[in-house]
Copies of this chain bind each other. A is one copy, B any other.
Amino acid sequence: MKQIINCAAYSQGCRKADVELNHVHEVLKEQDQFVWIALHEPTEEMLVRVQEEFGLHDLAVEDAHMAHQRPKVELYGDSLFVVLRTAWMNEEKHIEFGETHFFVGDNFIVTVRHNSLVSYADVRMRCESTPHLLKKGQGFALYAVMDFIVDQYNPVVHSMEMELESIEDRVFKEKPSRETTEQIYQLKRELLEVKRAVSPLVDICNRLMRFEIKCISEETRPYFRDVYDNVVRINEMVDNTRELLNTALEANFSLISISQNDTSKKFAGWAAIIAVPTMIAGFYGMNFKFMPELQWHYGYYIVIGVTIGLCMLLYYFFRRSGWL
């Protein structure tokens, strides 16, 4: 698979030329333009070459090679290193996570994509179609990709809200089951993972809005407020879902108990209805010599009648008091 997806120089918001990695350092010398290069799961050698061309910091490159970082933003001298986590629903409706790293310098931006399905070629194209915005510089490119990444969380969170609704339906409309409980647990697990990926973004956006460094021009800073709003909203939805989920777990539990109580009552009711005729029959099964009823011609029928009557009375009584 190609490691360099795209590498171009931009001037005044327009794509000037595709650039070979080897010639990047020459292009970087020219003024009023910046290079935007997109890597996909680069090998170590590739990263070393990129580091040399752009003059990146050792620690940042080390981080970029090792995936599984926490989302963060770091300043190395004049350049910026940003780590974000990407997320999407796979076909079995499970969340998968990837990682994207950004190196942003005076006149360049490098994006490094690890384990994610969607390429950022579309974002680049959209940027190129609005040169009046892209000419704000590499800071705008950073914003565009970040905005895209954060937007990807929307369907993920939406799908978790759907999942919560399906859980609610099962809790309140179906019988309590082991599956529902496990479903609640799995959703909780996913919420925690998404939370872990999203919550550091609040702080990251906050800092990008305030960083006073050259590589993010002043007029692009308000744009990060947009990403910030989005991130706060997603965060809130995750927290909300989590709190509702906890309540659903407790409600589920209450309903299990109610259902158990219903079982007990139903059982008790029917047990009584069966026990009474058994007792009566037992009495007329006694072997006493003198039991006048036994001699009666219609004794048997009377007993059967009385028994049925008693059972119906009990049934009516239990029904009325909600036991059956």
Chain A interface residue count: which class? Answer: 35 or more
A70 on the interface (CB 8 Å rule)? yes
Question: Which residues from B are CB-within-8-Å of A268?
Answer: 263, 266-267, 270
For A275, the closest partner residue in chain B by CB is B274
- For the complex, give the distance between the alpha carbons of A236 and B196 in Å: 8
Question: Which residues from B are CB-within-8-Å of A59?
Answer: 222-223, 225-226
Cβ-defined contact, A178 with B249, below 8 A: no
Task: Render A264-283 as a binary contact track against B, CB cut-off 8 A, 1 for contact.
Answer: 11111011101111110111
Tell which of A259, A283, A295, A296 has the most Cβ of chain B within 10 Å: A283
Cβ-defined contact, B291 with A300, below 8 A: yes
- For the complex, give the distance between the alpha carbons of A252 and B261 in Å: 14
The B-contacting residues of A in range 45-77, CB under 8 angstroms, are: 59, 69-70, 72, 74, 76
Q: Given B223, B261, B299, which contacts A289 in the complex, CB threshold below 8 Å?
A: B299
Cβ-defined contact, B258 with A267, below 8 A: no
- For the complex, give the distance between the alpha carbons of A298 and B292 in Å: 11
Given known pairs A69-B229, A196-B236, the reply for A287 and B289 (CB within 8 Å) is no
Given known pairs A185-B248, A290-B297, the reply for A275 and B272 (CB within 8 Å) is no
Q: Given B74, B244, B250, B266, which contacts A189 in the complex, CB threshold below 8 Å?
A: B244
- Listed by A's residue number, 20 A-B pairs whose Cβ atoms lie within 8 Å are A172-B181, A181-B254, A182-B251, A185-B248, A185-B251, A192-B243, A250-B250, A256-B257, A257-B257, A257-B260, A263-B265, A268-B270, A271-B271, A277-B283, A278-B282, A284-B287, A286-B287, A288-B296, A288-B300, A290-B300
A interface residues, Cβ below 8 angstroms from B = 59, 69-70, 72, 74, 76, 168, 172, 175-178, 181-182, 184-185, 188-189, 192, 196, 222-223, 225-226, 229, 232-233, 236, 240, 243-244, 247-261, 263-268, 270-272, 274-279, 281-291, 293-300, 303-304, 322
